[in-house]
Structures are given as structure tokens and as C-alpha cells.
Amino acid sequence: MQRWQSPILLALSLGLAAPLGAQLALPQVPVVSGIGDRLTSALGQVGDVARGTLARTSETLRLARLDRIAALLRQNRTTMERDIDGQPARRGTLLALDLQDGDAARLAALGFAAGGATRLDDLDMAVTELSVPTGMDLAEAQRLLARELPALSVSSDALHFQSGGANSTGASAPAGLRRGPIAVPVGLIDGAPAQPVAGLRGFAVGAPTASNHGSAVASLAAGAGVQRLFVADVYGRDPAGGNALAIVRGMNWLVGQGVRVVSISLVGPRSPVLQRAVDGARAKGVVVVAAVGNDGPAAPPSFPASYAGVLAVTAVDKRNRPLIEAGRALHLDYAAPGADIAALNAAGRRMAVRGTSYATPLVAARAAAALQAGADARSLVPALDNEARLLGKQRPDPRSGRGLLCEWCR
């Protein structure tokens, strides 16, 4: 076994290990077991040196994220490109919200072809796909529309990535522990699970297709007691899966199925389309729970976790230490176990998992349990606070939010 000589070396090794940035990886990418745990342990032992090492680790993770985006775009030139903010998005396509009479003609005069509007009645919104003029990239197209038609709400079809990795352990058994059945219906926006669920629908090319990530997240939700699980597969076999339009279509379907909690273990940049969908779901009384990602505290704020009213979730290890690679949001609500735990992969076998992805369905399960016990949108957070174990000196704590939920879910 390799001997780690210093926390600095650990930090550099961590930053170069792609799986800790697995939110920028497709569903089947494995995790290098134990590296994050060894780093967290080392940082806890070196006192003042740790603070400098933590800063360097954060910067290494930030740079690694940029490298992974660049590699992803190189490998998928026909389906992805950068938008005006440098974020990966679906190539040649923009999304317009709530076009009015005459807007299509004005767009056509600039060379943009407007497809039919996608009505999302359960979210009270409509989205129209715009084809970018031939020879024009997304950033140029966005600048043109901002200049010529500033009143329109137009954005890229930004890509969102799963926020966790896994490594098969070879053992065949259910994952998680139960604390009473939760009958409140819960929705997942992710890849498809292999195990049976109450409802499953695809919103991407080749969907639904069972994935390790979707199977793991679903198994953790079930292990935490969720009995009625509905899953929107926004990845399938689509290289540009996880785009904003797929996510909002999936959310619209979930709301229409009557779910009361939606769990999203995905992260991406700010998207006006997705923000509108989140607002629409919350207006229907749906609780939205989302992961903060795994690109470290120096990464940009993650969305949808950062949208107002979303329960933003981070992860802790078996010693209840926040994961060193956990990302950040504009606010932080709760922590849950996200390392030193096992879940089921697409083959139905146990695998070790690590990442904020896996903490998120556990918080979603506890939110559903609180609703089942009589909480409503106004009383939900106080109800969760009552069972959350405070990890920091204050509530909310900058690293663990309002406390640790579902500690027993290990």
C-alpha cells in the first residue's frame, strides 16, 4: 500500500483523482475508495498546516473541475459546447421561456428557428427550443439575442452532472436501514434505477436505461423507508443528458404524479428555465432537495441547490465529518451520511459510495417522513431541525447546515 507522506501530497493526489469530481462524470465512473477519508483524517491531525493545505486542496479541486469540463467538451464536440458563461451546454440549442405573439418572427429575422413550445402545465410554464443559426456558436448567439431582443428570457440548455461516485464491493444484499415506512410519494431526477419503482419515465435519448448512480440513489431512498418512488431518467444513453430541458420535463411529470418531495442529486450552473421549474414545483407545495456537489468549496455555487427554497444537502463520513470535497451552494440546509456507506448498483450488487449525491435522498426521505407526520411547507424546517443533530457550534453551521439527518441510515 502506498504510504502518504504529507497532507499536501494527499491534497494533490486528491485533486488529480477524477472520481472526486464525479459530478462531471457520466454515470458509470468509479470512485477511488478512501482517498477523501485519508485526506480528511490527515487534515484533522496537522493543526495550522491543515488550513493552508485545505486552501490548496480547494484550488486543486477547482482546477480539476475546469480540466474535466474541457475534456468532456473535447470528447463530445457534436453534442456539447460552451455557452456564454463557459459552461457545457447542448450544442446549437437555446431555450426561451414563455414566448409571446410575434417573438418567433423576430427570432426568425435574426436567423433563429423556433420549435414548438413544450407546455409544462404542472409547473405553469412553457419552454421553446431555438436552433442557433448555422455557423454561430452558443456564446455568440446569446450575445446577439441579448443585444437585439433583450426582453426575451433566453438561456443555454445547460448540462447538469451527477454528484457522486461508486465502487463495487461484490456483495449482494439490500442497502440501508429502515425506520418505519414512508408512504408519501417521493420523486428522483437522475439516471434510471434497475430495481422496480412506483413509476419510471425517460426524458433523454435511450431513457430509461438503468445506471449505477440512479440505482444507488434509489436504493438509499428505499432503504431510508420511502415506499412510493417515482423516477425521471434524464440521462438514458444521451451524451448530452442531464440538460435543463430534460430536468424540467422530468420535474413536470413528477409533480403530475403527485409527488410531494423531489430529490435531485445533480449539479450545474444557474439556469432560468430550471429556476422557473423549481419555483413552479414549490408553488404546488412540492419540497425540492438537492446536492451541493463534490467540486470543493472553491467551485462556483451549485444549482439547483442554490435556488431559494431548495433544501441544499452536503455529506458527512462515518465520523460525521463534512466531506473535504463537498461543494457549496448559496445556502446550506442539512447534512446526511454520504461516505462509508453502501448502495445497490445496476446489477443489484452492493457498492461503496461517496458523494453528496448519496446524502440527498436520505434528507428527502426525512422530509417526506415529516410531511407524513403532519408538517407543511411552513413547519417542515422546524420539524427537521427537531431531529437534526447539530454538528457545529451554531445553526446553521457553514459546513454542516442546520444539522445531521438520517444518521441511522448507515
Reply yes or no on whether 190 is catalytic.
Answer: yes
Provide the pLDDT confidence category of residue 48 given band limits of 50, 70 and 90.
Answer: very low
Would you state the cell numbers that stand for residue 395, as one nine-digit string?
445553526
7-15 vs 48-75: helix crossing angle, rounded to 10: 20
**Residue 44 pLDDT > 90, yes or no?**
no
For residue 10, is pLDDT > 90? Answer: no
Q: Does 174 score more than 80 pLDDT?
A: no
Catalytic residue among 213, 238, 317, 400: 213
Q: Which of 20-34, 45-59, 161-175, 177-191 has the highest mean pLDDT?
A: 177-191
Q: Rounded to the nearest 10 degrees, what angle do helices 356-372 and 212-223 cross at? A: 40
The whole-angstrom separation of Cα 174 and Cα 327 is 29
Q: How far apart are CA 111 and CA 106, in angstroms?
A: 9
Residue at grid coordinates 428557428 = 113
How far, CA to CA in Å, does 205 sit from each of 116, 228, 266, 405? 19, 25, 18, 35
pLDDT at 364 over 90: yes
Q: Output the pLDDT for position 112.
A: 98
3: pLDDT strictly greater than 50: no
Ordered by start, the domain boundaries in the chain are 7-75, 80-158, 161-409
**pLDDT above 70 for 400:** yes
Q: What's the CATH architecture for 161-409?
A: 3-Layer(aba) Sandwich (3.40)
Q: Specify whether 168 is catalytic.
A: no
Residue of 227, 228, 278 lying closest to 248 (CA atoms): 278
Q: Does the annotation count 357 as an active-site position? A: yes
Catalytic residue (choose from 155, 265, 357, 400): 357
So what's the architecture of 80-158 in CATH?
A: 2-Layer Sandwich (3.30)
Q: Considering 157, 190, 233, 238, which one is annotated as catalytic? A: 190
Query: Quick one: pLDDT band at residue 185, thresholds 50, 70, 90?
Result: very high
* Rounded average pLDDT over 231-235: 98
Query: How much is the pLDDT for 70?
Result: 87
Does 171 score more than 70 pLDDT?
no
Residue 6 has pLDDT above 60, yes or no: no
